[in-house]
Amino acid sequence: MRLSIKRREAALDLYNMILGSFLFVSPWLFAFNRDAAREDAFIAGALVVLVSMLAIAAFAEWEEWVNLAIGCWLIVSPFVLDFPHKSGMHVAIAVGATLTFVSLLELWLIHNPGWIEQDGVSRDTTAKRH
């Protein structure tokens, strides 16, 4: 059973790695004109890619908490760093919200492994049968 959970978690880590890669190249794609927005995207994107690669190679729960923290930072960073560039703000908030959602989903799946359904039969041992 742990193997199937590992595969599902690796897929979500792959999504996080894609989000981090997109964030890393976003200053070039959207021509960020402020150093703070560019540096925030580079650093956060590189960290997300690194942590996601570590999670794929050798899973540990702390990696999901790090991605969650980075996602939350990305949501508030345009306001804290005062991004004047609308594209930079929109990219940071969109990627941050998506990264936060995927990280929360992965943490929920880790802590609720019995939730998986296979062939229409719930494996949740707490579910009541009628």
Residue 118 — pLDDT band, cuts 50, 70, 90? Answer: low
pLDDT in tens, 48-72: 999 999 888 887 888 889 999 999 9
- Rounded to whole angstroms, the Cα distance separating 70 from 28 reads 21
* Tokens read off for 6: 């590992």
pLDDT for the residue 17? 94
Are 93 and 74 within 8 A, CB to CB? Answer: yes
**Mean pLDDT throughout 74-93?**
89
HSE (side-chain half, CA atoms, 13 Å) at 38: 9
Question: For the CA atoms of 108, 110, 111, 117, what is the dihedral angle to 10 degrees?
Answer: 80
**Mean pLDDT throughout 69-93?**
90
Q: Domain 2-115 adopts which CATH fold?
A: Four Helix Bundle (Hemerythrin (Met), subunit A) (1.20.120)
Residue 83 — pLDDT band, cuts 50, 70, 90? Answer: confident
Could you tell me which residue, 83 or 122, shows the higher pLDDT? 83
pLDDT for the residue 115? 64
Could you tell me which residue, 79 or 116, shows the higher pLDDT? 79
Kindly report the backbone phi and psi dihedral angles of residue 58, in degrees, each rounded to the nearest multiple of 5, phi listed first.
Answer: -150, 100
pLDDT for the residue 1? 42
| Domain residue ranges in the chain | 2-115
**pLDDT higher than 50, residue 27:** yes
pLDDT for the residue 6? 52
First to last CA, the chain: 26
Q: Is 118 helix (H, G, I), strand (E, B) or coil?
A: strand
pLDDT for the residue 117? 57
